[in-house]
Structure 1
Amino acid sequence: MSHHLTSRNPALSKLVQEGYELEFRPGLLLVHAVPYVNAHSQIAYGTLVSELSMDSPDMVGMPGSHQMHFIGDHPCFADGRIFAPVQYNSGDFHLGNDVLAQHHFSHKRKDRDRNWIAYEDYYVKVKTYVDVISGQAKMIDPSVDARTRKVATWVDDTTPFVYADTASTRAGILAINERASQLRVAIVGLGGTGGYVLDLLAPTYVPEIHLFDGDKLHQHNAFRAPGAVPAEALGRHLRKVEWYAEHYGNLRRGVVPHAEMIHEANVHELSKFDYVFLCIDSGQARALILDHLKNTNTVVIDCGMGMHVLKDEQKLWGTIRTTVSSPGNRDDAASLMPLVDREDDLYRSNVQIIELNALNAAMAVLRWKRLIGMFADDRLEMEGTYNTALNQIGNKPEPL
């Protein structure tokens, strides 16, 4: 988050000029030293926390919510009664960026006609909350003031992103998303499905995403890739991994290209990852990787697609598959995957459909997010499948 934020945004600049004690963390605005009254009718000081919506890396938008969090005891009226005008919910609120709040406040403004109105900027939002809460403290001691005139502080952005992730803070799920921040992940195969796996992993907090694929980026690949590949990029004769690392470098750091296929000489590199997404159609390569990782703690999430053309009807039908191989189910998982290369193997079909590539990737990344605790998981399936003709998802549960 840029230290120029306060100078380029009038609302924040006004807060600084008036002396409010501000702290900026990625996606969050903290206002310290807010005087309030506790349950014993004593004056105390707490911290207000707001999401910080951004229109661009240096320009804030309108507040994304009328709500704020609070670090401290619950503010009270001067006589010690709970201050109901802001009361909403209390508990432990993990907001991410090492911020833990104890209360969640809700306070809306009304216009002259008593209609609810939004906060037009962060100056109005902060000042309104501070005035409402500290007003009770001023009844006890008129000299108390949140405007300490301390210099605004910034906590450096240690995330992998080029600019702050305000989507997570706006939705209030930053602490959940940070659960991926210590994991190392690899994608083997950057064809259709692998490209979409990267597209879904790029906005996550994994510090590094390693890409393994030795193929060049061809024109037909552009029609199965997320987003739009410029004609200029096709003319540069890049490897797939080079294009993807360059493209997603606009969003994040840590996308590491390896312009090579996985084979006997380099398969050992995969053992250093916590999770490996396999997005390849070679049964022989899949068998090599599974055999090498069999005695490691690496979890493999294998993607497969099988398409068939009904020639008489000129229609397609197919199945996509997501299979999890973990230390506790290696043999059972391997029995569900194609480990040989056969001409009649459904999963070796050259037919690739972009929407099924995307769905296959989404199923794989959702399975990963459930494995690491970002989503609730009541199924614990070893394999999930989707059949286009039946429009049906199937699950094979983990063996007990």
Structure 2
Amino acid sequence: MSRSPTSPDPQLGRLLDEGYDVTLVGGMLIVRHVPYVAPDGGGVRVGTLAVMASVAGDVLVRPRSHTAWWLGETPCDALGHPLETLIVGEDPREIMPGVPADLQLCNKPKGREFFDHHEYVTTYVAIIGAHAQRLDPLATARVGRSTRTSSTAEPFCYADTATARAGTGAAAGRIAGRSVGIVGLGGTGSYVLDLVAKCPVQAIHLYDADRFEQHNAFRCPGAFGIEDLRAAMPKVELLTRAYSRLHRRIVPHRMRIDATTAPMLDLHDFVFVCVDDGAARTPILAHLAARGIPYVDVGMGLSMGDGGIVGAVRTTLGTPDTHDAVASRIPSTGDPGGLYAANVQIAELNALNAALAVIAWKRMAGFYATGRDFDHGVFVVETGALHREGRGDRDGTK
């Protein structure tokens, strides 16, 4: 999230009015053109400072952190000695997608945290810049009011402060900018949307031809009111309206994806296939494989036993290289007489199925580390066991 010079936030507005080139990006306040003394007689140069932003909605609140990040060479005193009391250590990383850093800094007011972000920023700038001013009295970070305008390039409607706080920007960057499709917005598909909407993907396209009916309210995330049921809106429109409050680019398509409409999926980098129609599933997956588009296919089979509901929840990751191998693990027919088709309320299994699907996608993308390529998993309801299978299990190369 980038804030414009006309931002209503008083802390950011004050920094801008004082001439600091500062922008709110995700969970970071980025301050450019900060003068510092470079090592090895490098003289005065300018670097970039990033401090943690504590926000409530789009308003800065009292900071909960006192650390900072630095992009540039090691800042030194006027004699060229590194500011060791300020520098925690070298730790090059991408603290937010597109926001790299070289050093971590730490400075805490004695006995307290910073009162506000103005003090937070200006204290760090003063500590670093004071040494530069000893060499060049005209060196300043107050270069004039920023002309940065509000940006809609970022996917979220408000700042993702958690990524910045956790320092997982590099991992998030591996899924950023991607186009994701979700085919089927029933129980599992709607939970997939709930999870993917919190990811910095470029766009999320929804495909479903059905209306949102009363049973859907009990098998998808969130809480919908009686007025939503009376409206009988298409699923894609109702869920787009709900999740567009978080993610800017959710695109509804009220249509059924089958063999004839599968080319609609060609624009995506990844597709979640969440349909309970085996006849439609097979040509969809074949089309994705032919186009080189990876996917996760989900499903479950349930029945009523003497001791309660029994069955299994399946998650299968397919890529152009593995599609032929995993296709045999994916049912090609539906289960019209099964318990799931009767709209049984098992939201927890839908949520589990979706979570396993999203984890598989993130592992493939490199967000989660992986020591082994698992592409097929089955959770057995009655035992609680999760059976996983990878390519090595099939070809004997474990």
Does the TM-score normalized on the shorter chain lie above 0.5? yes
Q: SS at 2:299's partner residue?
A: strand
Quote the Cα distance in structure 2 between the aligned partners of 1:253 and 1:143: 43
Task: Show the counterpart of 1:99.
Answer: 99
TM-superposed CA distance for 1:46, in Å, is 2.1
Instruction: State the partner residue of 1:393.
Output: 386
Further displaced range: 343-352 or 280-289? 343-352
Q: Aligned partner of 2:211: which letter?
A: K
What corresponds to 2:365 in structure 1? 372
Which residue of 229, 240, 244 maps to 2:239? 244
Could you tell me which amino acid in structure 2 is paired with residue 195 of structure 1?
Answer: S
- The Cα of 1:205 is off from its aligned counterpart by 2.2
1:54 corresponds to 2:49: no
- Matched pairs, number: 392
Number of the residue aligned with 1:108 = 108
1:114: which partner in 2? Answer: none
Distance (whole Å) between structure 2 residues aligned to residue 107 and residue 308 of structure 1: 60
Pairing 1:335-374 to 2, within 5 Å after superposition? 335-342=328-335, 350-374=343-367
- Counterparts in 2 of 1:145 and 1:318: CA distance versus 1, 3 Å: same
Aligned to 1:170: 165
How far the C-alpha of 1:344 sits from its partner, in A, is 6.8
Q: 1:346 to 1:222 in 2, by over 3 A?
A: closer
1:130 pairs, out of 114, 125, 128, with 125
How far residue 222 of structure 1 moved from its aligned partner, in angstroms, is 0.1
1:1-400 to 2 correspondences below 5 Å: 1=1, 3=3, 8-40=8-40, 42-57=43-58, 59-96=59-96, 98-111=98-111, 117-140=112-135, 144-151=139-146, 153-154=148-149, 156-311=151-306, 313=307, 315-342=308-335, 350-399=343-392
Structure 1 residues 43, 373: CA separation in 2 closer, same or farther (over 3 Å shift)?
same
Which stretches in structure 1 are left out of the alignment for 5+ residues?
112-116
Q: Deviations over 1:302-322 (max 9, x none)?
A: 1112223222x3x23332111
Amino acid at match of 2:330: M
Deviation string for 1:344-398 (max 9, x for gaps)? 7787675341111111101101110111121111121110222233222221012
| Contact 2:182/2:193, CA 8 A, preserved across alignment | yes
Change (3 A) 1:67 1:211: same
Conserved 8 A contact 2:234-2:254: yes
TM-score by length of 2: 0.89
Task: Quote how far apart the aligned CAs of 1:228 are.
Answer: 0.5
Partners of 1:25 and 1:154 within 8 A in 2: no
CA distance in 1, matches of 2:218, 2:76: 60
Distance 2:208 2:146 in 1: 49
| Separation (CA, whole Å) in 1 of partners of 2:385 and 2:379 | 6
Cα–Cα, structure 1 residues 253 and 14, in superposed 2: closer, same or farther, change >3 Å? Answer: closer
| Whole-Å separation in 1 of the counterparts to 2:128 and 2:203 | 43
Residue 300 of structure 1, CA deviation: 2.1
Normalised to the residue count of structure 1, the TM-score between the two structures is 0.89
Which digits, 9 at most, give the CA deviation of each residue in 1:283-327, with x for residues without a partner?
Answer: 21212222333422011211112223222x3x2333211101211
CA distance in 1 between partners of 2:4 and 2:35 (Å): 28
SS at match of 1:132: helix
Output one character per residue of 1:185-233: Cα deviation in whole Å (capped at 9) or x when no partner: 2111111100000001112222222222222211111011100012111
1:359/1:5 Cα in 2 relative to 1: closer, same or farther (>3 Å)? Answer: farther
Q: Report the CA distance shift for 1:292/1:46 in structure 2 as closer, same or farther (over 3 A).
A: closer
Q: CA 1:395 to 1:204, structure 2 compared with 1: closer, same or farther past 3 Å?
A: same
Structural RMSD (CA): 2.5
Q: Partners of 2:136 and 2:286 in 1: how far apart? A: 72
Alignment partners' CA distance in 2, 1:231 and 1:356: 25
Distance in 2, Cα, partners of 1:19 & 1:262? 53
Residue pair 1:22, 1:29 contacting (<8 A) in 2 also: yes
AA paired with 1:322? T
Residue 64 of structure 1: CA displacement?
Answer: 4.2
Alpha-carbon spacing, 1:151–1:296, altered in 2? closer, same or farther (3 Å): closer
- Structure 2 distance, partners of 1:362, 1:217, is 22
Answer whether contact 2:274 2:297 (CA < 8 A) is retained.
yes
Contact conserved, 1:27 with 1:164, CA < 8 A, in 2?
yes
What is the CA-CA distance between 1:119 and the residue it aligns to?
1.6
User: In 2 relative to 1, CA 185–32 (structure 1 residues): closer, same or farther, beyond 3 Å?
Assistant: closer
AA at the equivalent of 1:43: V
Other structure's SS at 1:292 match: helix
Give per-residue Cα distances to partners, 1:95-153, cap 9 Å, x unaligned: 33533222111122213xxxxx2222111111221222233334555554433344353
Structure 2 residue matching 1:305: 3-state secondary structure: strand
Note the residue ranges of structure 2 that are not aligned, 5 or more in a row.
none
Residue type of the partner of 2:210? D
3-state SS of paired residue (2:301): strand
Q: How has the CA–CA distance of structure 1 residues 384 and 55 changed in structure 2, closer, same or farther, with 3 Å as cutoff?
A: same
